[in-house]
Amino acid sequence: MAKEVKTIGILTSGGDAPGMNAAIRAVTRTAIAYGKNVKGIRRGYSGLLEEDIIDLSSTDVSDIIQRGGTILYTARSKEFMTPEGQDKGAQICKKHGIDGLVVIGGDGSFRGAGKLAERGINTVGLPGTIDLDIPCTDYTIGFDTAVNTAMEAIDKIRDTSTSHERVSIIEVMGRKAGYIALWCGIANGAEDVLITERYDHNEQRLIDDIVEKRHVGKKHHIIVNAEGIGDSYGLAERIQNTTGIETRATIIGHIQRGGSPTAKDRVYASSMGTLAVDLLAKGASNRVVGYREGKFVDYDIQEALAMTKDVDQFMYTMAKRLSR
Ligand code: ADP
Ligand code: F6P
């Protein structure tokens, strides 16, 4: 029989992402609307093990929907990776009356949520990462804001790149995944986009392309490089030495993780937070919320973790074609 939860905990785990606050607000206010108590667990699983737990009221989540980062802070915890740490985490939840838990993070955080579900805490995961690298969903909280931040930065670099007739390599985040790079490649009209999932390491082809485009009159050459490929400074030096064209590298870095979330991140994160509480209110556990084919959906955690995904080939081919 479905277990009725009375107190819902929320934590954010792994890298922060713009929109996490909108999700925290939605979870808190939906839970209150259902008549549940709400507790915020600060610093992810690490804070859970340290019992860094606070009550959350509706007013505690006022004025946060527009703020980047996470008001609950985030951390990584090695102790929670052990069965002993997970037993302790479940006991602490029980001690504080937390019988339902919303975990906002990536695949690692969902694994942790699965461990708590095995120990009797009803859990629901929400995909929160700028990297878009969670297989069970086409949308992750923070990606839209991060892409827009990177796009604006690349537009600015493009201005100076054109003035100086340079090659510019811009490295964007994404860990091993190339989603931010691919989206920027298209949105910024880059001459080239290098992503881990497709890169052939053929630097000569890259150089021939730069020279060819120079001959047809291109004043700049923007290369968006994914963090998973890296070596942007080395690549810039090799291109400059081989072609004689001034080349600069910029690593955009953590600016992509911050800032006020876009409307899409606010609305989708709010929707996911609301759905998470709807699921807990129905007695569901061990679920992950996703967005697939235009709908918010949910999956069993282990089923979600077993999924794989690849960058969209249509988008990749388009990025290449439109740069010609
Ligand atoms: P993300 O959630 O973004 O994938 P991590 O992989 O760093 O980020 O995971 C965040 C936290 O989730 C870890 O610090 C750890 O506490 C917990 N976690 C990760 N993997 C597991 C696991 N296999 N079992 C239990 N907890 C885990
Ligand atoms: O997962 C989000 C992310 O920003 C990645 O794009 C990047 O590789 C990583 O986190 C950076 O992590 P940290 O903030 O710990 O350096």
The CATH classification of domain 7-142+261-306, taken from the options 3.40.50.450, 3.40.50.300, 3.40.50.620, 3.40.50.740: 3.40.50.450
Distance 43 CA to ligand 1 centre (A): 13
Q: Say what the pLDDT of residue 3 is.
A: 79
Residue 212 burial (10 A CB sphere; 0-12, 13-18, 19+): exposed
In the CATH scheme, what is the code of domain 144-257? 3.40.50.460
State pTM to two decimals.
0.97
User: For the segment 113-132, what is each residue's pLDDT rounded down to a tens digit?
Assistant: 999 999 999 999 999 999 99
Question: Closest ligand 2 atom to the C-alpha of 173?
Answer: 6
Q: Where are the domains of the chain?
A: 7-142+261-306, 144-257
Assess whether pLDDT exceeds 60 at residue 201: yes
Q: How confident is the model at residue 1 (pLDDT cuts 50, 70, 90)?
A: low
Q: Whose CA is nearest to atom 13 of ligand 1?
A: 76
pLDDT of residue 286: 98
CA of 59 to the centre of ligand 2 (A): 31
- Residue 90, C-beta contacts closer than 8 angstroms, at least 6 positions apart: 116, 119, 120, 121
Q: d(Cα 310, Cα 133) in Å, to the nearest integer?
A: 9
Q: Which residue has the tokens 């699983």?
A: 45
Query: Ligand 1 — pocket residues by CB below 6 A?
Result: 13-15, 45, 76-77, 80-81, 105-109, 111-112, 115, 129
Residues taking part in catalysis: 131
Model confidence pLDDT, tens digit, residues 143-170: 999 999 999 999 999 999 999 999 999 9
* pLDDT over 80 (residue 74): yes
First and final CA of the chain: distance in angstroms? 60
> CB 158: neighbour CB atoms within 10 A?
18
